Chain A
Amino acid sequence: MDTESAFAEEFIELKTVVIRFAGDSGDGMQTIGERFTDSSAAFGNDLATFPDFPAEIRAPAGTIPGVSAFQIQIGSTEVLTAGDVPDALVAMNPAALAVHLSDLEEGGMLIVNSAAFTPENLKMAEYTSNPLEDEAVTGKYELIQVDINHFTLESLADSELTKKDKLRCKNFFALGFVYWIYSRPIETTIDFIREKWSRRSPALADANIKVLKAGYYFGETTETSRNRYMVAKADVESGLYRKISGNEALVLGLIVGSKKANRKLLYSGYPITPASSILEMLASYKRLGVKTVQAEDEIAAIGIALGASFAGNLGITGTSGPGMCLKAEFIGLATAIELPLVILNIQRGGPSTGLPTKTEQSDLLQAVYGRHSDASIPVIAANSPSDCFETAIEAIRIALTYSTPIIVLSDLYLANGAEPWKIPSIDSFDAINVPYAEEGQPYRSFNRNKDTLARTQAIPGQKGLEHRVGGLEKDEEGSVSYDPSNHEEMTKLRADKIKLIAESLPPTKILGEDSGKVLVVGWGGTYGSITASVNSLQAEGFSVSSVHLRHLNPLPKDLKEIMQQFEKILVPELNMGQLNVLLRSQLLIDTIPFNKVQGQPFKVKELTKIIHDLLHD
């Protein structure tokens, strides 16, 4: 927590603050985290969020596996991550405390719902004694015990709701209290509650608003001697902003990209964490002509998308790692017939079901190489929640321009995380003009564009352009061919076409000097942590720069030369070293991997330490 001089008489001004809400998965921690995010965004802070929830929808209440958490960092300066460790931890029950207390640093603020610390709950959290009576806890942290249950019921004494329903409002008491401590406006949340519940249950809406206010006033009336904090509006580029999560940004990018390309969008998916919300959101955009299909499985989802592409729509499918395995055969077919197809992989911890609600970036080599035969296809990755927007448009550009399937890698951290987004002008994106074959001309289905090597698509309904595509090898005419030299020629052409994509890429951006001691090369969702770390080291005068890759296949043409200007190359990844393998094998440059596979993002501190160590070796 960066402290500045007193902001006003009663406020201590902070540059950034990290708050973690933790409770049972039925306690509504994601809800209040989201509300805190909205209020802070509306207030004008920069921010980043990290929802961290269990794979079980409702693990037994009060148990350790049932703990759900939401972390947010807000700042008056640029915020690139949700923060390494919380400055304040809200623990709604003993299990939440047990899971998260070790992350709280000495002196950190600890707000607990004392009502939840019953012998039964303590036992479920595997405590043998009450930690709130333990000097190791009470002496180490700024402990604030509040009987949230009591105050929630008290404030709803007049309500007709049942006791059980009343207690379900208690998360808003905690939120109200935190709003008071961090001097946040509560109006955004009141509006949200009204909008969400007023129609369905006015009594519930009123109750939540009452409890939210009660939490706020509780601070004002009983905690008057306590320090209050203030994080001022962020000094960011002027413009129009909104809050956006990675999956929201992907959806908007796909819609905008399809409009820019003048193709109808058909998205076909099968529910899987953390990609399901893409299908859900797109299904709600029918008014924009978007068609969605919830397929019977992952294979059908990509087959339907490919069939749609064949018929002249822009076929898109999305999934997470295990689903990619099921789609692999179809990706091979799409590669052989060279049709545009966008495949989203929102990565999570694996292999197999692995850690379905935790983040990881371990599907890179699968994306680049994971097919039978020589079947190179482009792979690109998003680096922040809002960056998913441009990534989606870039995917559509490549898929159509090069008549190819393309894999877009995002991850759970980006998908669920949110940040403010300076909304770009739609007009700033170029149209994607990829015409179909012309009627009246002879059509050779594998006749290629000289510049891109892409074949030109003719679609059913176009007169006189009838032709057959399929998995069997074809010659340039589009006829089945078992000719040995034709197969080699076609294999090379398919590979060359993908390599040519690199010609269309802008120069790689370097954060910092273009030569020096250490270059950090990253990709995907680690952008925030790496950038925050490199920024801070540069500010201290260290010779470190970073490059964050959007294009993983093909790699940018200038990457090798950039890397050669540095003494050491560090490749931090949330996997066992997959980009590291790619860089070494394709560029023949020695690189130093730094890997973490705990289902959690990098902490800025751990990256800073490893870079620091390299600088001093």
Chain B
Amino acid sequence: MAIETLEEDSLTKKDFVTPNDVRWCPGCGDYAILNSLQRTLPELDIPKENFVVVSGIGCSSRFPYYMNTYGFHTIHGRAPTVATGVKVANPDLSVWMITGDGDGLSIGGNHLMHTLRRNVDINILLFNNRVYGLTKGQYSPTSPLGTRTKTTPAGSIDNPLNPILFALGAEATFIARTIDTNPKHMIKIFKAAQAHKGVSFVEIFQNCVIFNDKTWDPVYGRQNRDDNLLFLEAGEPMVYGKEEKKGIIWNGSQPEITPLGDSSPKDKHILVHSPENAGALYTAMLAEMTYPEFPTPVGVLRRVEKPTYDSQIHDQVEQAMSSEPANTSLQDLINGANTWTV
């Protein structure tokens, strides 16, 4: 279906702001994400009434109340199911699903997995702050081993889940990562997610100022980001580093960091990022490259073309409707094939 072009005045950020007071803690990373999405939607050439924001439960899941669109704050972990229902009911809608590391990967892990593998054409933003915020500071499925919280006073012993590997395991067709401290990058990734036909999974490193403050600072803090973040661009070599330019090479069995010196990336055989129709091994390599062994990659990690679930449901229905005799009345339907008269 074609998305209508706007005839009226263009939308602006303020069209997407609700009068409701935003009730996140001062300094929460969620504010920057909200602001970035409110700046993204007006630029998408989609009528405002066609946006639906669906969330689960958790701090991040209050998001729909602050977006002046159609919104649905559902129940814990189940947002992927409601978002699927909305999209299947009306594929013309642009559906944005907001979840967190607890909502999406713990209680809702099953639904997230199935929504990803079905390739429902929705945009999933997973705010990863590696802690339960709304219930006041218990560890989450992405908390590193040894994390001390109220429920893990001796340190957590659950092996954490890597959200990117999780999405890859379900063969998500679009996988990206961005950070709450970089609105420009967020907006770019959100636009790419909407442009992708199919499920788009975006992990956002997000700071919980109260219960897990500075959890991502080693990666994206002002002092560290140049050396610990790798901004991926399709077709560009994987180079980073403030003082000394470094790059990622493939050493035959795994990725490796190599100093660039005065050489060009090409001469050093620096890997060139190619997310388009990438095999799972390539994305897995990127997913496993994390701080402190590697710079943590952000950007679009994988983009694969596959038919979407919602469009296929509609295609099957439309095909059946057009190929069956149009004169099948409801009366014929309930009469069925075998009747007798008394």
Contacts and interface: CB of A to CB of B under 8 A. Distances in A.
A478 to B, nearest CB: 10
A460 B84 contact: no
Contact of B52 (A287, A288, A311, A422): A311
B50 to A, nearest CB: 6
Given A299-B78, A310-B72, A256 B334 contact: yes
A42 B338 contact: yes
A41 interface: yes
B331 interface: yes
Contacts of B334: 252, 256, 389, 423-424, 426
Given A293-B88, A461-B93, A237 B342 contact: yes
Interface stretch (B63-71, B188-196, B289-297): B63-71
Contacts of B81: 295, 299-304, 307
A266 B342 contact: no
Given A300-B114, A304-B84, A333-B75, A313 B89 contact: yes
8 contacts: A236-B342, A242-B336, A286-B317, A304-B88, A307-B86, A424-B334, A465-B49, A471-B57
Contact of B71 (A244, A307, A469): A469
A492 interface: no
B321 interface: yes
B298 to A, nearest CB: 30
A467 B49 CA distance: 10
Interface residues on chain B, size class: 35 or more
Interface in B300-326: 313-314, 316-317, 319-321, 323-324
B78 A300 contact: yes
Contact of A289 (B54, B75, B317, B341): B317
A463 interface: yes
Interface of B: 18, 20, 47-52, 54, 57, 64-65, 67-75, 78, 80-90, 92-93, 110-111, 113-114, 313-314, 316-317, 319-321, 323-324, 328-331, 333-336, 338-342
B84 to A, nearest CB: 5
A287 B69 contact: no
A293 B313 contact: yes
A594 interface: no
A268 B72 contact: no
B65 A470 contact: yes
A464 interface: yes
A366 to B, nearest CB: 19
Given A243-B338, A460-B52, A472-B73, A264 B110 contact: no
A480 B71 CA distance: 13
B75 A329 contact: yes
Contact of A463 (B47, B89, B333, B341): B47
Given A423-B334, A467-B70, A470-B71, A303 B111 contact: yes
A25 to B, nearest CB: 26
B107 to A, nearest CB: 10
Contacts of B51: 460
B78 A256 contact: no
Max count, chain B CB within 10 A of own CB: residue among A308, A470, A479: A470
Which A-B residue pairs are the 10 nearest by beta carbons? A307-B85, A470-B73, A303-B81, A286-B320, A307-B82, A468-B71, A311-B89, A287-B324, A304-B85, A296-B114
Contacts of B88: 266, 291, 293, 304, 307-308
A330 interface: yes
Main secondary structure, interface of A, reads mixed
A480 B63 CA distance: 13
A239 B342 contact: yes
Interface in A133-184: none
A252 B338 contact: no
Given A38-B338, A299-B78, A311-B86, A469 B93 contact: no
A242 B338 contact: yes
Contact of A44 (B54, B319, B340): B340
A259 interface: yes
Interface residues of A, number: 73
Nearest to B324: A287
Contacts of B338: 38, 41-42, 242-243
A271 interface: no
A307 B84 contact: yes
A469 B67 CA distance: 12
Interface string A183-224: 000000000000000000000000000000000000000000
A297 interface: yes
Contacts of A42: 338, 340
Contacts of A469: 71-73
A501 interface: no
B111 A290 contact: no
Given A287-B320, A310-B72, 13 more contacts: A234-B342, A242-B335, A295-B114, A303-B111, A306-B85, A311-B86, A311-B89, A312-B90, A460-B86, A466-B70, A469-B73, A479-B20, A480-B20
Contacts of B86: 307-308, 310-311, 460
B102 to A, nearest CB: 16
B68 A256 contact: no
Max count, chain B CB within 10 A of own CB: residue among A287, A288, A304: A304
Contact of B82 (A242, A264, A303): A303
Max count, chain A CB within 10 A of own CB: residue among B48, B85, B114, B313: B85
Contact of A291 (B67, B113, B313, B330): B313
A304 to B, nearest CB: 4
Contacts of A238: 341-342
Interface string A229-249: 000011011111111100000
Nearest to A235: B342
A520 to B, nearest CB: 29
Contacts of B48: 463, 466
A4 B70 CA distance: 70
A115 B61 CA distance: 67
Contacts of B313: 291, 293
Contact of B340 (A41, A266, A293): A41
A333 B74 contact: yes
Contacts of A237: 342
A297 B54 CA distance: 19
B91 to A, nearest CB: 10
Interface string A388-410: 01000000000000000000000
Nearest to B83: A307
Given A241-B340, A311-B86, A464-B49, A426 B331 contact: yes
Given A289-B317, A426-B330, A468 B85 contact: no
Nearest to A249: B334
Max count, chain B CB within 10 A of own CB: residue among A256, A287, A309: A287
Given A300-B114, A307-B81, A307-B82, A460 B70 contact: yes
Interface string A306-340: 11111111010000000000000110010000000
A375 B114 CA distance: 30
Interface in A345-394: 389
Given A287-B321, A308-B89, A460 B82 contact: no
Nearest to B113: A296
Nearest to A264: B89
Interface in A418-456: 422-426
Contacts of B333: 252, 255-256, 288
A305 interface: yes
A439 to B, nearest CB: 9
A307 B54 contact: yes
Nearest to A311: B89
Nearest to B92: A461
A187 to B, nearest CB: 13
